Structure 1
Amino acid sequence: MGATFASLSAIEVMAWGLVFFASIYLVFGGLTWLLTRHLLPWLGIGRILDPRPLAPGQLRREFSLSAVSILIFGTGMIFPWGLVQLGWATLTPHASAGRIALEILALMIWNDVHFWINHRLLHTRLLKRFHLPHHRSVVTTPFATYAFHPVEALMLGNVILLPMVVHDFSFWSLASVPVFSLFFNCIGHANYDLWPQVSYSHWFAASRRHHLHHACYHGNFGFQFTFMDRLFRTRLNADAAQPHIDRHFSQAATRARKSSS
């Protein structure tokens, strides 16, 4: 498959990239929405994390921003393709299953490091204006996963470039990065705790941690794992969102009393 990828033209690479990113966004996002909004609550499995309603027009805005991100990610496949064409990177053919598994594990760890660094930068005074469009989804949905400003999409979308120049990966290992990234991202943005029984520190509790990030804005900058937030002391307390949620319903009750009087 690596040889096939290298033999494609630039236009073909970008076209396939657009199809690939649009497909995984719609499939993973749609399935996560159906599971967490309908099937799992009906079965009594898991729980909603933030009971506040979505903002008016939120889904439309998320789809609009995500369409731009998909355009950037899809056409951006020209960059890893270009590294191969220039001889700056090589795709290893006929990699064993064990090697691919180890490469995917290494890329998952690198993805968390890369995400934390870029996410933390996006919360600085210099770059926060590029991150605010994503944070307009205070109560998150799976379709917020790609709802980025173009600058943020460019920052997060370059995750495989550095690994490619320091190691000869299998094509399948590199292709797994957007797949597992979007899969975990959909869960993280689902506003649904699929495993309430696990501890807040467990990597299965990533949806809890990312829900807190959106509800509180600061803290919990990591992706799926917790080691970067632990290392840099940016992890939020497990109940950090509760005052914000309580304030919302208190204000809503006050408005309701005033309107009825």
Structure 2
Amino acid sequence: MGSWFISLDWLQVMTVGVMYFSVLYFTTALVNTWLSQRLMPAIGFGRRLDPRPLRPGQLRREIGESMMSILIFGTGLVVPWGLLRLGWAQLATAPSVAQIIIEIIVLFFWNELHFYLNHRLLHTRLMRRFHVAHHRSHVATPFSTYAFHPVEAAMLGSVPLIPMLLHDFSFAALASLPVISIVLNSLGHANYEYSRSAPARGPLAASRRHHLHHACYHGNYGFLLPVFDQLFGTGLPLDAADDRIAARGGDGAT
């Protein structure tokens, strides 16, 4: 199934990659914006988390930074492509449906760990200058999902490399990884809690946890699951941002 990808030349790989990540980004951002700002409020399901207005020009800046990240993610596909062309990694031959499902689950948990470790690193004194661009969005939006400094984009985009060197994954499982990542990332940046109960529990609480991260800067470094924040004591209480929002509710700043 992935033989066509291996047969491409480097320029074709970059072109396909940029197109792929562009479709993922704009589709999830637009759908999530429609859900969180139109459909869900209209039917009375869920709630907005941070009521502060966006900063002037925020969406334009987020889209511009995200386009740079898309360029890095897309052209960066030459790295896994190169691993396959050089024979340093292999794709699974005729994988079963069960194998593909198991691999997707494994990659999901690896993505959680990879994100947490890189996110913690980006909040250290050594690396935080590369992460501050993302935190200019004190109020997150679905268009914040790829709004990274190029260094951060390169770090987060490296997620499939180690797994590929350790196991012969199916092409379908590897191709699903960016889809899983952007869907969950968009959920985390929606600034909207898709839940009847408040606060939400389990995976649906991802939006609230990441809203608190943007509002408070430190804490809640995980992606969808809170397991690593719980394990390493980096979770934030549910009221962590209340004082900041109440004190500066009209200016969109923290």
Unaligned runs of 5+ in 2: none
Give runs of aligned pairs for residues 101-112 of structure 1, distance below 5 A: 101-112=101-112
Tell me, yes or no, if structure 1 residue 175 matches structure 2 residue 169.
no
The offset of 1:93, in angstroms, is: 2.5
Q: 1:106 to 1:22 in 2, by over 3 A?
A: same
User: Counterpart amino acid of 2:4?
Assistant: T
Pick the structure with greater CA Rg.
1
Unaligned runs of 5+ in 1: 253-261
Give runs of aligned pairs for residues 175-194 of structure 1, distance below 5 A: 175-194=175-194
User: Counterpart amino acid of 2:171?
Assistant: F
8 Å contact kept, 1:100–1:173: yes
Deviations 1:45-87 (A, max 9, x none): 1100000000110001001100100000000000000000111
The root-mean-square deviation of aligned C-alpha atoms, in Å, is 1.2
- Corresponding residue for 2:152? 152
Structure 2 length-normalised TM: 0.96
Q: How many residues align?
A: 251
User: Counterpart amino acid of 2:160?
Assistant: I
8 Å contact kept, 2:45–2:196: no
Deviations 1:174-228 (A, max 9, x none): 0111101000111110100001427655122100100000000000000011111
SS of 2:132's partner is helix
- Corresponding residue for 1:119? 119
Tell me, yes or no, if structure 1 residue 68 matches structure 2 residue 80.
no
- Corresponding residue for 2:129? 129
The offset of 1:5, in angstroms, is: 1.0
- Corresponding residue for 1:203? 203
User: Counterpart amino acid of 2:197?
Assistant: Q
Deviations 1:143-199 (A, max 9, x none): 000000000000000000000000000001001111010001111101000014276
8 Å contact kept, 1:201–1:226: no
8 Å contact kept, 2:190–2:207: yes
The offset of 1:242, in angstroms, is: 0.7
- Corresponding residue for 1:257? none
User: Counterpart amino acid of 1:107?
Assistant: L
- Corresponding residue for 2:221? 221
Tell me, yes or no, if structure 1 residue 19 matches structure 2 residue 19.
yes
Structure 1 residue ranges, 4+ long, deviating more than 2 angstroms after superposition:
198-201
Tell me, yes or no, if structure 1 residue 54 matches structure 2 residue 57.
no
Structure 1 length-normalised TM: 0.94
Report the identity percentage. Answer: 54
